[in-house]
Amino acid sequence: MGNMGEILREVKQLVGEGYEVFLEKREKNNGVEHQYIRIHDPEMGMGMGISIQMDVILEAIESGEISIQDAAAKINRFYKEKNNMGEVNGITSCLNKDYALENVIYQLVNKEKNRNLLHRSPHKDFLDLAVVYRLIVEEGSNGISSIAVTDEFCGRYSISRGELDAAARRNTVKRGFCRQSLSSLLDLLCNMPENSGEVPMWVLTNLGNFCGAAVMLYKECFSALANELESDLYILPSSIHEVIAVPAMDLKPEFLKETVGEINTSVVSAEEVLSDSVYKYNRNDGTLFIA
């Protein structure tokens, strides 16, 4: 465990007797794994504690920016500050079936890269992607906290797949979708020839810009735009949080797919990549398919 083992020992000494300090590994989207140190006061009950993501801290240690002792002191200060402010997170303590069904939403993920998640989670196929379920735990000025809904979670709260899916469909719509027009596809497709002219493009997401690529499940959002443009649409999966729609016009899907792949490799973080595919919305019959 290397540096993590030394940090754990240092943090345990700093927080003092009676606290539990342990390593957590959390698998995120696309199989990306992050390491956390979790500090728990047993007197506060099960599920209560503060988790501190270690990726940036570990990079700073490895680069020589800070020492292990300094890192441990920083973690201890962070814990004390959060604890004093009453920001101890106790996800399991606030959950029940009603809360879950009122706050679960759809999330689109890459099917191939999330086999482990899909193996233990309720899901359904969608084109070359998969629809999973995500529970919004907290939403505020500091962002959105959420957890993946697993089979174990549904069993614990006696939630059927039918109930889960109906609630997610309802809640995803309730959060609202939006689209923003951008002036030129040239901003995205930086290798497009200069004489190609401007191509209008729109970013489609939800109002929180969180798991907004689920807009693909609601083809009426594409229908309205396609009718306005009087054109079929190509849909570029720019991340798990949004997609980009462009009028089909004379664009080649092969070129768009190559560009999406380059962006996924060089711009989008590994855990936020949705797909290298390009999709097409057919205005005449309302179908969405892989281009």
**pLDDT at residue 78 in the model:** 84
| Average pLDDT of span 195-205 | 74
Whether the per-residue pLDDT at 166 is higher than 60: the answer is: yes
User: Could you tell me the two tokens for 80?
Assistant: 């004390």
**pTM exceeds 0.85:** no
**Nearest-CA neighbor of 83 among 26, 18, 141?**
18
Name which of 8-17, 87-96, 163-172 the model is least confident about.
87-96
CA pair distance 46, 76, nearest whole angstrom: 21
User: Can you give the residue ranges of every domain in the chain?
Assistant: 3-90, 95-174, 177-290
What are the structure tokens assigned to 106, written together? 């759809």
Return the sign of the alpha-carbon dihedral for residues 24, 28, 34, 38: negative
Residue 239 CA to residue 260 CA, distance in Å, equals 10
Using DSSP's 3-state secondary structure scheme, residue 136 falls into strand
Per the structure block, which two tokens stand in for 255? 């070129």
Q: How far is CA 202 from CA 108, 112, 247, in A?
A: 19, 27, 9
Place of tokens 């609630």: 167
> What percent of the chain clears pLDDT 90, i.e. is strictly above it?
51
Res 15: pLDDT: 87
- Rounded percentage of the chain residues whose pLDDT exceeds 70: 87
Query: Which residues, including other chains, have CB under 8 Å from residue 241's CB and lie 6 or more apart?
Result: 205, 209, 210, 211, 212, 213, 272
- 146 has a pLDDT exceeding 60: yes
Gyration radius from the chain CA atoms: 22
Main-chain phi, psi angles of 271, to 5 degrees: -80, -5
Could you report the per-residue pLDDT of 6-27, keeping only the tens digit for each?
Answer: 899 999 999 888 888 888 887 8
Tell me what the pLDDT averaged over the chain comes to: 85
CA distance 222 to 220: 5
